[in-house]
Amino acid sequence: MTHEVDPDLDPVARLRIMAAGVPGARVVEATLPAPVEAVWAVMSDLEGEFGRFQPDMRSVRVLRVAGDRVEALARSKYGLRAHFHGVLRPGWCWLQSRFLIIGMAAAPAPDGGTRVALTGGVRVPGRAAIVPVGAERELREAMTRLAGRVSGTGP
């Protein structure tokens, strides 16, 4: 069995499909007025920028990269740790740990800006499901902070 991605699906559409298969998942989308390369440079910088726009992340340390596969350790602002495994490629990131799921996507918008989608939250142990309490609020805050980081006005 092969897992081929439809070449007509952009990363944002693919993220919507992935999130639709995760009970409790919410997707927050926005269009940022910057080129996709600039936006993705912030979003994909797991050890630097990621912790600045994700509200509950304090730090991320990439342990291993093999092609588009990534393994990372993250620490929340509450001191909790997560050991992530996933995929990071241009315009696409999907990371899972035992207790968290993080999905990010970016694609060019027709006006020269960038369409961005975020999903994720606390994972139900042993299942691809997200506890929906507070997830959408946190995703919206992450999107606002991401926009600030991209524009140079954020913390």
Q: Is the pLDDT of residue 96 over 70?
A: yes
- DSSP alpha helix (H) spans, 44-133: 50-53
CB within 8 A of 2, min separation 6: which ones? none
Rounded CA separation 18/9 (Å):
12
- Read off the tokens for 114: 């960038």
CA distances from 111 to 31, 36, 82, 115 (A): 10, 11, 37, 10
Predicted TM-score of the model (pTM): 0.88
148 three-class SS: helix
Summarised one tens digit per residue, pLDDT across range 20-54 is 888 888 899 999 999 999 999 999 999 999 988 98
Rounded CA separation 21/130 (Å):
11
CATH code for the domain defined by 11-149: 3.30.530.20
pLDDT of residue 4: 55
Question: Where do the domains of the chain lie?
Answer: 11-149
Identity of residue 46: L
CA-nearest of 111, 132, 119, 126 to 35 is 111
> 120 and 101 in contact (C-beta within 8 Å)?
yes
Summarised one tens digit per residue, pLDDT across range 136-148 is 888 899 999 999 9
CA-nearest of 83, 72, 76 to 51 is 76
pLDDT of residue 132: 65
- DSSP alpha helix (H) spans, 1-155: 11-20, 36-43, 50-53, 135-151
